[in-house]
């Protein structure tokens, strides 16, 4: 029996070795780069996507949305309903060889809760993280939080010793452009370690040979060259000509052509992300508008008019080439709290919108600066242009400023924009994540992406109650009440949920995940 086991183990390792020999490098192209490598500095899609290869959270979400044990092997609520217990994986080492222990977990959570951390908004319910032994931690929440594990899939674990040695205990202050060591260097437990990085150009990662998951996951990619190619046509041409193996952001206009190209594979799927317009609804006066002494966007009727004049069906057909699902809510159907009734976009009516504008006292409209990213979401700049011409029908002259997300996002985080386009994905699949970041008054752990200046004490109170409400029915009722209020106020104007297309060489099969995150460790090239 024992010798049989040995033989099987030997055979297994042989198969694995053979498998490893099949591993290939991959050249991976995206429209935009990770904003930083500091794991807790930016809660942003492409940043997470790159970080997920290098760092690991306690739990990850796979491409079907299931939670998978990663640095934690199991978790449960203890007898005290306010305390979760996580058992940590043993034998895990960081890329520098340091062992991964409970001290690193405590350190990482404390770091992620610092004021400059952008991850604090995801951890609003956490009170304290306590080390029990080397491989057990307790997370105490401010009230019972039955869905805590859902919130941990993007909170990465850092090496305490390495961070202290390199003076990077404090999270980078991204808004103030204050650098630290972790922005350019990394030391995670993930399957790939950083070889070189040139911001906005190229990042090279190599397989970490002591990765704990060896033998458990395919690890069919031995080296990742992550290249940023901003121009749509160039990115697609690079794939067709063989310069890159995988394009994660396929421009909608090129899908038809790529489907006809031999030797390529296209994968499709919905992303759990809404694209919407945000407005400054709180300031007394706007800086970039043509109205003096008043804020036209503070008038609900103006916001409703904007909501009514956006032709989402035309955007879907002409700009998104059917790769979108028009929506009236800033969450998609995958998220707890979505309602069909609220999620239906309002009926298009230019006449009604015009009379609303007139009733609000702006019959001839006004002008305002409109900020838009041009390398982040599917067809983002074209969407903004289309919105600009639709707004012109009710006299709103939106002066479009389309720029890289590295310039656009700080405007939102510093609340320096008064009218903007943003997309928001929901890794937790729950509304309270959206409320925490986008609707709660900007204060403490809350509202770090809320550039609307919206502040409603009643809504804030309801949002805060969500993280400790243990009765699911009651919690869902509160979520519905919050949505009712903010939808009624038209704080954001939702456009659509985007669908994603990845294109790659035939021997790869990289599925679209609703988070738009690729875990390269799961990819096994076929012969």
Partner 1 sequence: MTTGPTRAPSGSPPPPPADPGARLRHEGAGDYLAAWRERLAAFLDSDLVYSFLRSKLAVAAAIVTVLVVGAAFLAPLIAPHDPYDLKSLELIDSDKPPAWEDGGEARFPLGTDDQGRDILSTILYGTRSSILIGICSVALALAIGVSLGLWAGYAGGRADSIIMRIADVQLTFPAILTALLIDGVALAIFKNYRMEGGRFWILVLSIGLSYWVQYARTVRGVTLVERNKDYVAAARLIGIGPLRIMFQHILPNVLNPVLVIATINLALAIITEATLSFLGVGLPPTEPSLGTMIQIGNKYLFSGSWWMVAFPGLTLALLALAVNLLGDWLRDALNPKLR
**Do the strands 366-373 and 396-403 form a parallel or antiparallel pair, or are they unpaired?**
parallel
State which of residues 400, 415, 485, 524 lies at the interface with partner 1 (CB under 8 A). 400
Q: Is 315 in the site for partner 1 (CB under 8 A)?
A: yes
Binding test (CB under 8 A) with partner 1, winner from 139, 298, 386, 412 = 386
Residue 200 CB neighbour total at 10 angstroms: 14
Binding of partner 1 by 476 (CB under 8 A): no
Alpha-carbon distance of 141 to 175, in angstroms, equals: 29
How many CB atoms are closer than 10 A to CB 285? 13
In angstroms, what CA-CA distances link 73 with 26, 52, 87, 420, 483?
29, 18, 6, 41, 36
- What character string, x for contact with partner 1 (CB under 8 A) and - otherwise, covers 204-233? ---------------------------xxx
Q: How many CB atoms lie within 10 A of CB 473?
A: 7
CA distance linking residue 211 with residue 208, whole number of Å: 5
Of the residues 299, 381, 460, 464, which one makes contact with partner 1 according to CB under 8 A: 381
Select from 98, 267, 385, 468 the one that contacts partner 1 (CB under 8 A): 385
Q: Does 317 bind partner 1 (CB under 8 A)?
A: yes
Q: How far is the CB of 286 from partner 1 (least distance, A)?
A: 10
Distance, CA of 270 to CA of 264 (rounded, Å): 20
Query: Shortest distance, CB of residue 206 to partner 1, whole angstroms?
Result: 32
Contact flags string 230-249 toward partner 1, x per CB under 8 A: -xxx--xx--x---------
Binding to partner 1 in span 339-378, by CB under 8 A: 367, 369, 374
Residue carrying the six token digits 């630290």: 180
Residue number, 96 or 389, with CB nearest to partner 1: 389
199 binds partner 1 (CB under 8 A): no
DSSP bridge partners of 398:
368
Minimum Å gap between C-beta 401 and partner 1 is 6
Q: How far is CA 406 from the centre of its chain?
A: 15
Size of the site for partner 1 (CB under 8 A): 40
Q: Is 392 in the site for partner 1 (CB under 8 A)?
A: yes
Helix residue ranges, H only, 58-165:
102-112, 160-165
Residues, the chain, total?
527
- Token pair for 65: 């949305």
| Cβ neighbours, 10 Å, residue 183 | 18
Q: Determine which residue in the list 283, 399, 441, 465 makes contact with partner 1, applying CB under 8 A.
A: 399
Q: Which residues in 248-287 contact partner 1 (CB under 8 A)?
A: 251, 253-254, 256-257, 287
User: From CA 521, how far away is CA 161, in angstroms rounded?
Assistant: 26
In angstroms, the Cα distances linking 336 to 119, 328, 331, 462, 473 are 21, 16, 9, 16, 12
Minimum distance between the CB of residue 327 and partner 1, rounded to whole angstroms?
A: 18
By beta-carbon proximity to partner 1, the closer residue of 8 and 392 is 392
Q: Return the residues of window 403-462 that contact partner 1 according to CB under 8 A.
A: 403, 416
Report the alpha-carbon distance of residue 417 to residue 286 in Å, rounded. Answer: 10
CB of 232: closest distance to partner 1 in angstroms? 4
The residues that touch partner 1, with contacts defined as CB under 8 A, are 231-233, 236-237, 240, 251, 253-254, 256-257, 287-290, 311, 314-315, 317-319, 367, 369, 374, 381-382, 385-386, 388-389, 391-393, 397, 399-403, 416
């Amino acid at each position: 029996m024992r010798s049989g086991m040995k033989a099987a183990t030997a055979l297994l390792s042989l198969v694995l070795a053979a498998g490893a020999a099949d591993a290939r490098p991959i050249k991976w192209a995206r429209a935009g780069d990770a904003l930083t490598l500091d794991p807790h500095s930016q809660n942003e899609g492409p940043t997470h996507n790159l970080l997920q290869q290098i760092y690991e959270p306690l739990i990850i979400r796979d491409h079907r949305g299931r939670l998978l044990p990663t640095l934690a092997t199991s978790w449960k609520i203890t007898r005290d309903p306010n305390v979760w217990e996580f058992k940590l994986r043993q034998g895990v080492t960081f890329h520098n060889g340091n062992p991964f222990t409970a001290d690193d977990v405590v350190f990482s959570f404390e770091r992620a809760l610092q004021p400059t951390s952008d991850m604090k908004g995801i951890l609003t319910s956490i009170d304290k993280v306590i080390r029990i032994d080397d491989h057990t931690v307790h997370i105490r929440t401010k009230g019972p939080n039955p869905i805590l594990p859902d919130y941990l899939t993007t909170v990465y674990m850092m090496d305490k010793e390495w961070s202290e040695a390199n003076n990077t205990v404090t999270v980078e202050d991204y808004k103030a452009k204050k650098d630290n060591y972790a922005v350019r260097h990394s030391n995670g437990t993930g399957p790939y370690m950083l070889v070189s990085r040139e911001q906005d150009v190229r990042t090279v990662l190599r397989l970490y040979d002591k990765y704990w998951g060896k033998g458990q996951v395919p690890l069919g990619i031995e080296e990742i060259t992550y290249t940023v190619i901003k121009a749509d046509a160039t990115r697609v041409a690079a794939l067709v000509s063989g310069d890159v193996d995988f394009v994660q952001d396929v421009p909608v206009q090129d899908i038809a052509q790529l489907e006809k190209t031999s030797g390529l594979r296209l994968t499709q799927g919905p992303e759990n992300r809404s694209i919407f317009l945000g407005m400054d609804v709180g300031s007394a006066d706007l800086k970039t508008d043509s109205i003096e002494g008043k804020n036209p966007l503070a008038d609900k009727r103006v916001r409703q008019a904007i909501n009514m004049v956006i032709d989402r069906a035309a955007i879907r057909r002409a700009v998104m080439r059917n790769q979108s699902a028009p929506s009236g809510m800033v969450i998609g159907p995958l998220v707890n709290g979505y309602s069909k009734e609220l999620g239906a976009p309002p009926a298009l009516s230019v006449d009604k919108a015009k009379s609303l504008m007139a009733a609000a006292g702006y019959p001839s409209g006004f002008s305002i600066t409109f900020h838009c990213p041009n390398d982040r979401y599917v067809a983002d700049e074209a969407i903004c242009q289309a919105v600009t011409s639709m707004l012109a029908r009710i006299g709103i002259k939106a002066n479009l400023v389309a720029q890289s997300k590295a310039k656009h996002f700080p405007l939102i985080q510093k609340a320096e924009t008064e009218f903007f386009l943003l997309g928001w994905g929901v890794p937790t699949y729950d509304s309270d994540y959206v409320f925490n970041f986008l609707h709660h008054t900007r204060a403490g752990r809350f509202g770090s992406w809320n550039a609307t200046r919206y502040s409603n004490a009643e809504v804030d109170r309801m949002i805060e109650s969500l993280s400790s409400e243990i009765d699911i029915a009651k919690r869902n009722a509160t979520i519905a009440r919050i949505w009712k209020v903010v939808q009624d106020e038209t704080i954001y104007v939702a456009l659509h949920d985007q669908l994603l297309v990845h294109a790659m060489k035939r021997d790869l099969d990289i599925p679209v995940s609703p988070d738009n995150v690729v875990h390269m460790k799961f990819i096994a090239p076929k012969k």
